[in-house]
Amino acid sequence: MGDLLGVAVLGAGHMGADHVRRLDQVVSGARVAAVGDPEAARAEDAVAGLDGVSLHTEMEAALDAPGVEAVLIASPGPAHEEALLAAFARGLPVLCEKPMAPDSMGALRVMEAEVRLGRRLAQIGFMRRYDAEYRQLKALLDSGRLGRPLMLHCTHRNVSSPPDFTSEMLINSSVSHEIDAARWLLGQELTAVTVLRPRASAGAPEGLLDPQFVLFETEQAALVDVEVFVNCGFGYEVRCEAVCEAGSARIGEQHTMLVTTRGTAGEEVPQDYLVRFADAYDREVQAWVDATRQGRVTGPGAWDGYAASVVAEAGVAALESGARTAVTLAPRPELYGPAGLCHAR
Ligand SMILES: NC(=O)C1=CN([C@@H]2O[C@H](COP(=O)(O)OP(=O)(O)OC[C@H]3O[C@@H](n4cnc5c(N)ncnc54)[C@H](O)[C@@H]3O)[C@@H](O)[C@H]2O)C=CC1
Ligand SMILES: O=C1[C@@H](O)[C@H](O)[C@@H](O)[C@H](O)[C@H]1O
């Protein structure tokens, strides 16, 4: 490995271009060695002003480019399995944006491929684990000060959804973050899911079931509810309240600058994830680079990606059937160690 970890970025859209900028300008210890995107213009735009980056429209060529020692996958979800397997075949460590794979069988194949390798190479981009407020809440729950957690009340609102967004994606794209955050905060797997929906908002595109109300049960009988509303029109709002036996704690109501103008006073509301979670993405990628340089994986891994895909798939089934749907996970492979314990049990 050179002085700087050479990273190939696959996918140069919203997230990929932002990660290229982050690797180049924010993160230490790494450099962008190659960018792969079937749309050449996207890759060119993403690397404008950068030297020494090779551009590719074929993903395998990007992985095989000179100087590539690790991969950051930011292509659309359906492309992740192939990219992860190609990286594993080359022994390359990977940071893969969520979802690890959009369907549970794809996620299982990825996890099994890593298990066959016998060493961990994949980190999945559940960046909330690197957000300062989420980390504070996790530390509080783990300390046991509030007693056992009983409920998480979560809110996940986007100003608007991309044009191709489907009703299923409210769960397997948006709520996938709450699925991972709940598993991590509580140190428990999610065991069942029910999805209710109020009438669709007039602000939602025709046919999109938006908002939805998703209720998860956990293995130790806690409940996690999520209001997901991806065309709310007013702000990017992500909140979480943990209710425990001896207290509660709320995050996501950051108080920033108070602005008074023309007879009103208030705070600015972030309009998207790139603003709300900017620090979290920075810390996530820095932690991945640091761990990769030490030959380790320290963030959410393939087991977490697999579990999230299985729970999301059950959520989509629950949305379609209107019925409570059980979650069935394959046994947890030894490679991923014991399940995360929450001290507040
Ligand atoms: N962690 C987070 O908060 C967020 C994560 N994401 C995730 O990031 C990934 C990318 O999302 P966006 O950047 O919003 O999508 P996007 O549509 O803006 O960009 C995707 C890019 O990938 C390229 N592409 C298509 N097929 C490809 C392939 N086989 N190999 C390489 N590149 C390919 C497209 O040409 C496009 O430039 C998704 O997995 C998404 O779920 C997206 C938004 C926020
Ligand atoms: O991951 C993300 C998007 O893919 C998803 O579509 C949004 O709803 C989330 O807020 C964002 O964090």
pLDDT band for position 58 (50/70/90)? very high
Q: Measuring from atom 12 of ligand 2, which residue has the nearest CA?
A: 273
Q: Measuring from atom 18 of ligand 1, which residue has the nearest CA?
A: 13
* Whether pLDDT at 345 is above 70: no
User: Using a 6 Å cutoff on CB, does residue 174 contact ligand 2?
Assistant: yes
Quote the CA–CA distance of 191 and 203 in Å, as a whole number: 33
- Ligand 2 centroid to residue 265 C-alpha, Å: 29
- Ligand 2 centroid to residue 74 C-alpha, Å: 13
Q: CB-based burial of residue 108 (10 Å sphere; 0-12 exposed, 13-18 middle, 19+ buried)?
A: middle
In this prediction, what percent of the chain has a pLDDT beyond 70? 97
Measured in degrees and rounded to the nearest 5, phi and psi for residue 116 equal -65, -35
Average pLDDT value for residue range 241-249: 98
The reported pLDDT for the residue numbered 1 is 67
Quote the CA–CA distance of 304 and 177 in Å, as a whole number: 11
The pLDDT tens digits for 63-92 are 999 999 999 999 999 999 999 999 999 999
Average pLDDT value for residue range 169-189: 98
* Whether pLDDT at 342 is above 70: no
In this prediction, what percent of the chain has a pLDDT beyond 90? 93
The reported pLDDT for the residue numbered 169 is 97
What order do you get walking across the sheet with 223-229 strand by strand? 247-251, 237-244, 149-157, 223-229, 212-218, 190-196, 325-326
Could you tell me the two tokens for 102? 């959009």
- Ligand 2 centroid to residue 158 C-alpha, Å: 8
The reported pLDDT for the residue numbered 249 is 98
The reported pLDDT for the residue numbered 24 is 98
* Whether pLDDT at 254 is above 80: no
User: Using a 6 Å cutoff on CB, does residue 286 contact ligand 2?
Assistant: no
* Whether pLDDT at 10 is above 60: yes
- Ligand 2 centroid to residue 211 C-alpha, Å: 14
The pLDDT tens digits for 112-154 are 999 999 999 999 999 999 999 999 999 999 999 999 999 999 9
- Ligand 1 centroid to residue 13 C-alpha, Å: 6
Q: Measuring from atom 25 of ligand 1, which residue has the nearest CA?
A: 75
- Ligand 2 centroid to residue 162 C-alpha, Å: 10
* Whether pLDDT at 230 is above 60: yes
- Return the ligand number nearest the Cα of 175: 2
pLDDT band for position 27 (50/70/90)? very high
The reported pLDDT for the residue numbered 340 is 62
Question: What is the interface pTM, i.e. ipTM, of the complex?
Answer: 0.99
- Complete domains list, the chain, with CATH: 5-127+280-301 (3.40.50.720), 133-272+306-311+322-335 (3.30.360.10)
pLDDT band for position 344 (50/70/90)? very low
The reported pLDDT for the residue numbered 267 is 86
- Ligand 2 centroid to residue 176 C-alpha, Å: 9
Q: Of 252, 254, 257, which Cα lies nearest the Cα of 267? A: 257
Q: What mean pLDDT is reported for the chain?
A: 96
User: Using a 6 Å cutoff on CB, does residue 155 contact ligand 2?
Assistant: no
User: Using a 6 Å cutoff on CB, does residue 157 contact ligand 2?
Assistant: no
The pLDDT tens digits for 290-339 are 999 999 999 999 999 999 999 999 999 999 999 999 999 999 999 999 88
> Which amino acids bring their CB within 6 angstroms of ligand 1?
10-16, 36-39, 42, 59, 74-77, 79, 97-98, 125, 127, 173, 273
User: Using a 6 Å cutoff on CB, does residue 177 contact ligand 2?
Assistant: yes
- Ligand 2 centroid to residue 174 C-alpha, Å: 5
Maximal CA-CA distance, the chain: 64
